[in-house]
Amino acid sequence: MTEHGIQCQDCRKYLNTMKRLFCCTLVPWLLLCSPAGAQTDLAPTEILVKYRHDAAAPAGRAIGHNVVAVPLADTPASRENRLRRHLAHLRADPAVIYAEPNYHGHFEDLPPTLAVPNDPGYASQGWLDSLGARQAWAVATGKGVTVAVVDSGVDLAHPDLMNNLRSDGYNFGDGNAVPQDVLGHGTFVAGILAAQCGNATAGCGLAPETRILPIKINIGSTNDFDSAALAQSVDYAVAHGAAVINLSVSVSESTQTVGEAIQRALDAGVVVVVAAGNGGGAVKFPGTYPGVITVAGTNLDGTLWSGSCLGSEVTLGAPATGVTSTVLGGGFGIRSQGTSYATPMVAASVAGILQLDRRFDHARIAALLRANALPLAPGGYDFGILAAGQTLLALLPDLIPEKRDYANGDMVRLDYRLPPTGGPVDIYVAVTLPSEEVSLKPDGTWQRAAVAGYAVTGSAYGGAAASSGTLFGSPGIFPPIRLEGFPAGRYVWRSVLINRQSLSAVGPIIESPLTIK
């Protein structure tokens, strides 16, 4: 084992040292025990309960971060009624903060892709398809992440934005607490980032469940703002818990005032995403500030937009032309081109990364974005174009059978891919057989998951870069599996990474099915 992760030649030694079994009673929701062929409409069989810190959990229930999973008997005829009764009973308890069903999720056959949304403007949002938006949404939507949009404000009543807007924004341009947009620039930027998706209204944002902290910096409906207002806005965003700050702005000259505010944000762990600037020439401030993610503009055909500023400071590009988004008055449309509109696409991707793992810092995020970017055409640039879907897919573990259909007597080879992570994670591997669920132990043996819980296959893995190898096969960590005496049917491999500190999954559970005929 190296300092940063598991190397293939060390995997066997490493895995054999892992002794700690994962406690099924604490978080049985980490790997879903769904029957073979399960779909996303599986009714939940558990309730997640959060008790007050000063309240004792019921006897016999383990507490992990004050969250208790209560298993329910799975009798099809009475499951729904039993679930409803349990929920009502728990919610009536004054010691309970909340109780909710432990809903099942399901992904199958990478890459996952969601259906075309019903939003009327989606058909005109070719930039979303160019970024792999539907793949990105299948992995993360920015849920639980706040992005500060430091701009001309946001249309606070826009039906495709209002549900994602935080109420504690501010107007530094006019000196009041109402960051209402009257220019339109900030509303357009906010829609690219986080317009609600699937609500049959306007269009979609790239991170449609992100929370937006709207901050207005310009005076009235003018295009003017000063460095003092910009610096105050950055500090305000940090103080109010923004994880990402979107700056679709440029300043005529660099100022220490703004630079120090950005540095305070970076020191606080906030990711700052900045437009490279328009008009050609060198990158404009604050896109030149070290540590920010600077975004150039491209066209939908994969070429560089001629109006984009360029320089060594550019992290990557994103579409700056042909972009449609939310407009003032509740509408949806197109505005003139600019790197202002490429920037929130990258900010949305950052929100998706942070939804999966908050421990990624700005340098690791910039490296992830660059590593998964698409090449510009023609070549010759030292940066690529944002690939939102591929970037998020690259953060998920994957188990890869060499084929899908097997016969009794076949040997199964199974490869693995482990993604880069923001910090140490535990690795879990399980498989659903036609009759039961089993979990892989560190020594290569199996246990019935329904009885003994899940085993930690690998503990405290943390990789700065993706690693891959063979789990079952030759050469590999374990010998290939011979299919002798296995019942015919569908088998589903599952893998997931768990952040041990928060006991939360880093990404959704990915399933790789195979069939024995």
CATH number at residue 486: 2.60.40.1930
Q: What is the DSSP letter of 42?
A: P
- Residue 85 covered by a domain: yes
Q: Are 290 and 315 in contact (CB under 8 A)?
A: no
Q: Which domain covers residue 64, as residue numbers?
A: 43-103
- Return the pLDDT at 16: 30
**Residue 95: closest CA among 63, 137, 131:** 63
- Which DSSP state fits 20? P
Domain assignment present for 56: yes
Helices 227-239 and 256-267, packing angle to 10 deg: 10
Tell me, yes or no, whether 194 lies in a domain: yes
Tell me, yes or no, whether 494 lies in a domain.
yes
Domains held by the chain: number: 3
CB proximity list for 440: less than 8 A, separation 6 or greater: 429, 430, 431, 446, 455, 457
Same domain for 159 and 254, yes or no, is yes
The whole-number pLDDT of residue 145 equals: 98
Question: CATH code at 302?
Answer: 3.40.50.200
CA-CA distances (angstroms) from residue 190 to 246, 418, 492? 9, 33, 40
The answer to whether residue 110 is domain-embedded is no
Indicate whether 300 and 232 sit together in one domain: yes
The last residue of a domain, from among 368, 393, 418: 393
- Residue 285 maps to a domain: yes
Q: What is the dihedral of CA 323, 328, 183, 117, to 10 degrees?
A: -30
In a domain? residue 235: yes
In the prediction, which pLDDT does 190 show?
98
461 shares a domain with 341: no
Same domain (yes/no): 367, 447: no
Given a cut of 70, the residues of the chain with pLDDT beneath it are 1-46, 53-83, 101-112, 450-452, 502-503
Count the neighbouring beta carbons within 10 Å of the beta carbon of residue 204. Answer: 27
**For residue 61, what pLDDT is reported?**
44
Query: Which pLDDT score, from 0 to 100, does residue 455 have?
Result: 80
Query: What local confidence, expressed as pLDDT, does residue 53 receive?
Result: 66
- What residue type is 387 in one-letter code? A
Question: Does one domain contain both 465 and 341?
Answer: no
What pLDDT does 63 receive?
40
206 and 310, same domain (yes or no): yes
Same domain, 425 and 508: yes
pLDDT at 505: 75
Contact in structure between 96 and 49 (CB atoms under 8 Å): yes
Contacts of 127 (CB under 8 A, 6+ apart): 300, 319, 322, 323, 324, 345
CA distances to 23, 380, 406, 433, 442 from 483, rounded to whole Å, are 30, 50, 8, 12, 21
Are 72 and 172 found together in one domain?
Answer: no
What is the reported pTM? 0.77
Say which residues have a Cβ less than 8 Å from residue 483's Cβ, sequence separation at least 6.
Answer: 406, 407, 408, 409, 410, 411, 412, 516
The values of phi and psi at residue 338, to 5°, are: 170, 155
Distance CA 193, CA 327 (A): 13
Residue that terminates a domain, selected from 358, 393, 428:
393
Q: Could you tell me if 164 and 236 lie in one domain?
A: yes
Query: Rounded to whole angstroms, what are the CA distances from 390 to 125, 172, 243, 344, 479?
Result: 19, 37, 22, 17, 31
Residue that finishes a domain, picked among 367, 393, 419: 393
Known catalytic residues?
A: 151, 185, 340
Phi, psi of 306 (to 5 degrees): -65, -20
Q: Are residues 187 and 309 in the same domain?
A: yes
280 part of a folded domain? yes
Coil, helix or strand at residue 211:
strand
Judgement on whether residues 261 and 358 belong to the same structural domain of the protein: yes
Same domain for 230 and 333? yes
